[in-house]
Amino acid sequence: MTKKNNKLKSIDFFCSGGGMTYGMRQAGIEVIAGIDNDPDVKETYEKNNLGTKFIQADVFNLKEVDLSKYTGINKNDDNLILIGCSPCQYWSIIQTDKKKSQKSKDLLKEFHRFVKYYNPGFVVIENVPGLERRAKESGLEQFIKDLETRGFKIHYDIFNLNEYGVPQTRKRFSLIASRVTENIIKPEKEKYKAMVKDFLGKKNGFPEIPAGHKDHTFFQHTSAKLSKENLEIIKKTPKDGGNSIKERKYKGKGFHDSYSRMSWDKPAPTITTKFISFSNGRFGHPEEDRAISLREGATLQTFPKDYVFYAKSMAANAKMVGNAVPPQFAKKIGKAIIKAMENGK
């Protein structure tokens, strides 16, 4: 890495358990600090990203000038990257209680305050596609106009993360903008598409376990319990991609892909915060009679196997995993920024 690249530094807003931070660090970019209002993610973030500061703060109450006091960053720094990956439940097409996520709908507007104040060399946004579909309401339209007014070169798109080394059908809106290079910055695609078989199974270090297994080691290969009824459903569900709709249609419960198995030779579905639950999507193991484990979900999100999650419950850890930016995709973004800096204007 060149000396110039060593100067690149970033602040990760809405950092959660550190997926974006870890990927950026892997790319070779210093992450000075991560900001999140959830105290439950602090230990996970700090222990897996040693040397990066965790700032517990509600961005609605955080003043622009105070961020400089916490981190030492300055205005108009060409080597500064501000990253905003705000919680996205409000803009998601997944049917969730929008009342709970009402406040989160304005997080991009709050992030915009800091971008305007610090005028960094680079800006990165990662979110659900719904952020773009409702660009005026979400604040994205005004955000982009403001960046353009101040001379930023912007690239944004809906990315299928399976094309970037992530073994999921995960689609995300991502924006990378820079005012210090004329180059369009976008992550580089992989030559192959990652499948479940490339990440899970015995050959990839996952021993067979039953539903309800508790792994007390740092490997965290823990799986959720299944009710007697759901255990019967998964046993009758065909291996390797089977759908259980025939087994439960008379009860009329669940979406089409609920209570179904992943396929070895396909990417996994989007890993959500509920991936440990067989009833919440196609989260059944391809062969074993259980939902995927906490570690399997983290691996499908491209976290390394030694990345430990320290929340107090399995559900809280699964939430961290499901909300994360896959580190592999974050690394691709970081490398694209480094490449743009190396190529100059």
Of 334, 244, 322, residue with least CA distance to 289? 244
Instruction: Assess if residue 178 is contained within a domain.
Output: yes
Amino acid 131: pLDDT: 72
Residue with tokens 């809906």: 158
Residue with tokens 């807003």: 13
Instruction: Assess if residue 141 is contained within a domain.
Output: yes
What string of H, E and C letters represents the secondary structure of 146-171? HHHHCCCEEEEEEEEHHHHCCCECCE
Rounded to the nearest integer, the mean pLDDT of the chain is 89
Question: What percentage of the chain reaches a pLDDT higher than 90?
Answer: 78
Instruction: Assess if residue 214 is contained within a domain.
Output: no
Amino acid 326: pLDDT: 97
Q: For residues 279-301, give the mean pLDDT.
A: 96
The region of weakest confidence among 4-18, 109-123, 214-228, 261-275 is 4-18
Helix, strand, coil share of the chain (percent; to 5): 35, 15, 50
Instruction: Assess if residue 311 is contained within a domain.
Output: no
Amino acid 299: pLDDT: 98
Checking if the pLDDT of 288 tops 50, the result is yes
Q: For residues 55-79, give the mean pLDDT.
A: 95
Amino acid 104: pLDDT: 53
- Pick the catalytic residue: 20, 24, 88, 311? 88
Tokens at 8, concatenated: 């690149």
Annotation marks residue 85 as catalytic: no
Instruction: Assess if residue 261 is contained within a domain.
Output: no
Confidence of residue 257 (pLDDT cuts 50, 70, 90): confident
Confidence of residue 266 (pLDDT cuts 50, 70, 90): very high
Instruction: Assess if residue 266 is contained within a domain.
Output: no
Checking if the pLDDT of 100 tops 80, the result is no
Checking if the pLDDT of 201 tops 50, the result is yes
Q: Can you give the pTM of this predicted structure?
A: 0.91
Q: For residues 177-188, give the mean pLDDT.
A: 93
Checking if the pLDDT of 94 tops 80, the result is no
Amino acid 14: pLDDT: 94
pLDDT digits (tens, 9 = 90+) for 163-174: 999 999 999 999
Give the C-alpha separation, 261 to 141, whole Å.
Answer: 39
| CATH code for the domain of 117 | 3.40.50.150
Q: Determine the structural domain holding residue 29 and report its residue range.
A: 3-192+325-343
Give the C-alpha separation, 231 to 214, whole Å.
Answer: 17
Q: For residues 139-162, give the mean pLDDT.
A: 92
Give the C-alpha separation, 35 to 27, whole Å.
Answer: 20
Number of domains in the chain: 1
Instruction: Please give the biggest Cα pair distance in the chain.
Output: 65
Instruction: Assess if residue 233 is contained within a domain.
Output: no
Instruction: Assess if residue 173 is contained within a domain.
Output: yes
Q: Pick the residue with more confidence: 93 or 117? A: 117
Checking if the pLDDT of 3 tops 60, the result is no
pLDDT digits (tens, 9 = 90+) for 214-254: 999 999 999 999 999 999 999 999 999 998 776 555 454 55
Confidence of residue 103 (pLDDT cuts 50, 70, 90): low
Amino acid 98: pLDDT: 41
